[in-house]
Amino acid sequence: MPEFNAPLRDMRFVLHDVFQAPSLWARLPALAETVDADTADAILEEAAKVTGNLIAPLNRSGDEEGAQWEGGNVRTPAGFREAYATYIEGGWVGLSGNPSYGGMGMPKMLAVAFEEMLYAAGSSFALYSALSSGACLAIDAHASEELKTTYLPPMYEGRWAGSMCLTEAHAGTDLGIIRTKAEPQADGSYKVTGSKIFITGGEQDLTENIIHLVLAKLPDAPAGPKGISLFLVPKVMVNADGSLGARNAVSCGSIEHKMGIKASATCVMNFDGATGYLIGEVNKGLAAMFTMMNYERLSIGIQGIGCAEASYQSAVGYARERIQSRAASGPVNHDKVADPIIVHADVRRMLLTMKALNEGGRAFACYVGQQLDLAKYAEDASERQNAEALVALLTPVSKAFFTDTGLESCVHGQQVFGGHGYIREWGQEQLVRDVRIAQIYEGTNGIQALDLLGRKVVANGGAALRLFAAEVRDFAHAHESPFGDRLVEALERLEAVSGWLLDQAKSDPNSVGAASVEYLHLFGYVAYAYMWSRMAAVAQSKQGEDEAFYGAKLATAEFFFARLLPRTLSLEASIRGGSQSLYGLAAEQF
């Protein structure tokens, strides 16, 4: 069975050397007394043990057994309950939660590294706590003090879980047409009635209560998304003293039979006049839910990195051991009948592609985490505003690019194994199946691309893009990176394409939709080029301290700039091809 070992050396490099996180935390009063370099390293070390020793061994067996639905109840696979009990003892659900309600208050820069480990060890297991963490974020940001005091402490403890109930059978992305209703009651509560589908962790046997965050409409609500409100609906009612009372009118009608993440219960949830409590303002529920959705989008993006890292580790180990044919330059293993496949150019191409994308993604996730920390904790108003603008711009890139490249990497990892990659025991086929969902849920990657180009670039005239571009250009001019010129060239390509699209959008309503996916990928490669330039600058300055690590970092950076960044050339050509060719066929001609 494949093993997973958290890439701690690289995580510390990104956190401490590239982004100098401890120095940032020291100047943010809310974090200065909470975390330092030693604390961060201790948390990463413990997280590596938990994910590698507790969760990873359940990944294959959990996939084979799957979650089971029995008469309205869900049974998770063997070992999950015991592992979850141990997991929550460490306080992992509340790692970045509000300390006022029992969270640990750790920065997002640290939390993203933990999330990567968690998804790499077992995506199905990870999802149960990921949804809880996101629900806590929405409750903390928008709920009343009474609701926060009642629900957050046991959720941070992990005794209670959370779920996000948006999707209905007839309404996926278009939430404005949901039918779930909420009727106000004399005591200030609401009766919530409706059915939701694709609810991750909507029912399970890991926790004593599940707190559902449900989108619904009041009887007099305006049509469309402006009429949506958000409600907290507990599976089990909570008494005034915090103890559990009667079962609420919430039930699981079934679970889905899926391609992957089979140990994660994906539920149909029925609310039959269930008691719920308003979160935030009436008819402002979508904005409140987006607090959770944006967290989940970054988290699901990190699922792509985690699965790809697990695939890479397994593929590298196999490529070093599997012997097949001779190296093109002549025998390497003279005492054996063949050389290990890692000598072959195509195998090296696949492994280096995985390594470059994984490490670039790891750095970019930390960078987005940095912006989230600044948006939340910075004392200077302009610094907070700039960080908020970057978070809005980069969240769809994170979700979609991490998961698109995550699937690419997992397919490469499977391909390295050849026929054995298609066989159950090596774990690669499961990773391909598990990572595939990440491109679909929490807003499909096509929707993320529309959000990026339509809302975050075109709608504001490219203001947030200019902010990001200025930072990238300032870095390229101020630091001795061996790849500065190529970084600026790629940035100028992104800026030129963006300007062209801003002009096209004025006269062609189809231009944004036609270009959006390619544009997001172009943006992603430029963002990774920025990350690789930053990593290379540090590696070059420290190369004498650890030739093996920093030399490998520089060599991988060279591969990225030589073999992956040129993909932006074809992406630009495709974008400039315009929308006309997409509309040359009538619907009946397809």
The residues with which 323 forms a beta bridge, in sequence order, are 340
Instruction: Burial-class residue 254 by CB neighbours within 10 Å (0-12, 13-18, 19+).
Output: middle
- Residue found under tokens 């959008």: 505
Q: Which residues are catalytic?
A: 442
Q: What is the DSSP string of 259-314?
A: SS-TTS-EEEEEEEEEEEEEESSTT-HHHHHHHHHHHHHHHHHHHHHHHHHHHHHH
| DSSP codes, 129-165 | HHHHHHHHHHHHHHS-HHHHHHHHHHHHHTSEEEEEE
CA-based angle 138:139:141, to the nearest 5? 65
Main-chain phi, psi angles of 155, to 5 degrees: -75, -45
What is d(CA 374, CA 475) in angstroms, rounded to the nearest whole number?
Answer: 19
Phi-psi region for residue 63, left (φ > 0), alpha (ψ -120 to 50) or beta? alpha
Q: How far from each other are the two terminal CA atoms of the chain, in whole angstroms?
A: 45
What is the DSSP secondary structure assignment for residue 418, as one 8-state letter?
G
For residue 210, give the nearest of 250, 242, 183 by alpha carbon.
250
